[in-house]
């Protein structure tokens, strides 16, 4: 089969012939129709994000396509089924073998190609904001429930609200009844966030998000700040994120675009009774507590109905042939893309 290989950076991506994968026990083999480009692919191509042990070294964390073969012990999936899948690697190829628990049906009303834009963002957002952060399940960081303490809608801050993860998270938050603030870079991306339903869209190039969050929540009954922050910046925003948290708030870090090391003021954290959590989706086990099978199951049960109802939409900005993967990663790296970029397989 054909797949994308690389040596030293996204500009080195090129098409090569590799051995066809096979479906092992508990796996299915998918003929890939499309795969989506993620920032993790940029990092991996530069040597900064190696795949977990046993995972394919080929780029690509999600795909859509048709099942070509079914391994021993797999039930409920059949050859010819149109599906999408969460991957630990291997999406930038004509075929990929996937654990059956990470294979999901195509949401109603979504095309086969569009479905490739959903698994990584949907599983990332749901596992962090809902399964970890308690959004939509009425749970505060301190363990109390919103209804029990008479509080209004939870308040969420999303960094990078116009990007793939941010735009999906914004829609999920709105569907779950949260008030949402976002940061974005530039007037165009700020407008995108507002169009998606953000209550507050902050241009981080011109405004301080801590000050704006304080103004937005200054008269709230539970004090200034937000209850949940989904952060892709890491070290650069650590201190300011803590300053933007409300009492009993949670900061969930899922990316390190702003560095890996920062100073943490434990006094500020203690004063807010707040929590800082860092999570990773790719390295989770397939099964067991916190495993990807459980995450995918929750996404199918809870997110796919929102997609089918139009409450959460796919946002595909470009479709580019697989052989031009270097062009797709350059576009992602430029920051000019609004929504997901797909690589399509002929």
Q: Which domains does the chain have, with CATH numbers?
A: 2-118+283-344 (3.90.180.10), 123-278 (3.40.50.720)
Task: Please state, in angstroms and as integers, the Cα–Cα distance from residue 120 to each residue in 189, 199, 242, 307, following that order.
Answer: 21, 25, 27, 15
Output phi, psi for 122, to 5 deg. Answer: -65, -45
Q: Is the dihedral of CA 186, 191, 192, 193 positive or negative?
A: positive
Look up the pTM and report it.
0.93
pLDDT tens digit sequence for 17-30: 999 999 999 999 99
Report how far residue 337's alpha carbon sits from residue 117's, in angstroms, rounded to the nearest whole number: 14
Report how far residue 220's alpha carbon sits from residue 217's, in angstroms, rounded to the nearest whole number: 5
Residues 6+ apart with CB under 8 A from 81: 66, 67, 105
CB 242 within 8 A of CB 264: yes
User: Any idea what the Cα angle at residue 86 is, between residues 82 and 91, rounded to 5°?
Assistant: 80
231: pLDDT strictly greater than 90: yes
pLDDT confidence of 339, banded at 50, 70, 90? confident
Query: What's the gap between Cα 62 and its chain centre?
Result: 11
Residues 6+ apart with CB under 8 A from 211: none
Mean pLDDT computed over 185-194: 94
pLDDT tens digit sequence for 255-307: 988 888 988 899 999 999 999 999 999 999 999 999 999 999 999 999 999 99
């Amino acid at each position: 089969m054909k797949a994308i290989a690389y040596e030293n950076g996204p500009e080195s991506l090129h098409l090569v012939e590799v051995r066809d994968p096979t479906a092992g026990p508990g796996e299915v083999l998918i003929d890939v129709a499309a795969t989506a480009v993620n920032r993790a692919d940029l990092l991996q191509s530069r040597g900064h994000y190696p795949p977990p042990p046993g995972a394919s070294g080929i780029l690509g964390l999600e795909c859509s396509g048709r099942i070509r073969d079914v391994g021993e012990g797999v039930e409920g999936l059949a050859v010819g089924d149109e599906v999408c899948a969460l991957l630990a690697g291997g999406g930038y190829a004509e075929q990929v073998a996937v654990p059956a628990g990470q294979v999901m049906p195509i949401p109603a009303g979504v095309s086969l190609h569009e479905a490739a834009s959903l698994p990584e963002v949907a599983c990332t957002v749901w596992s962090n904001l809902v399964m970890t952060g308690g959004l939509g399940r009425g749970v505060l960081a301190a363990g109390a429930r919103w209804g029990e303490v008479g509080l209004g809608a939870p308040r969420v801050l999303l960094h990078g609200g116009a990007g793939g993860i941010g735009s999906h998270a914004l829609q999920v938050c709105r569907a779950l009844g949260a008030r949402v603030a976002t940061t974005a870079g530039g007037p165009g991306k700020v407008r995108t966030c507002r169009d998606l339903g953000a209550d507050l869209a902050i241009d981080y190039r011109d405004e301080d998000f801590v000050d704006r969050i304080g103004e937005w929540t200054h008269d709230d009954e539970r004090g200034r700040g937000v209850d949940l922050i989904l952060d892709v910046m890491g070290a650069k925003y650590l201190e300011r994120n803590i300053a933007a948290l409300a009492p009993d708030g949670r900061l969930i870090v899922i990316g390190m675009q702003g560095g890996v090391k920062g100073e943490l003021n434990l006094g500020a954290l203690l004063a807010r009774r707040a929590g800082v959590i860092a999570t990773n989706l790719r390295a989770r086990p397939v099964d067991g507590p916190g495993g990807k099978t459980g995450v995918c199951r929750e996404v199918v049960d809870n997110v796919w109905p929102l997609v089918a109802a139009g409450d959460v939409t796919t946002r595909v900005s470009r479709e580019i042939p697989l052989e031009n993967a270097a062009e797709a990663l350059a576009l992602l790296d430029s920051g000019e893309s609004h929504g997901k970029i797909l690589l399509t397989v002929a």
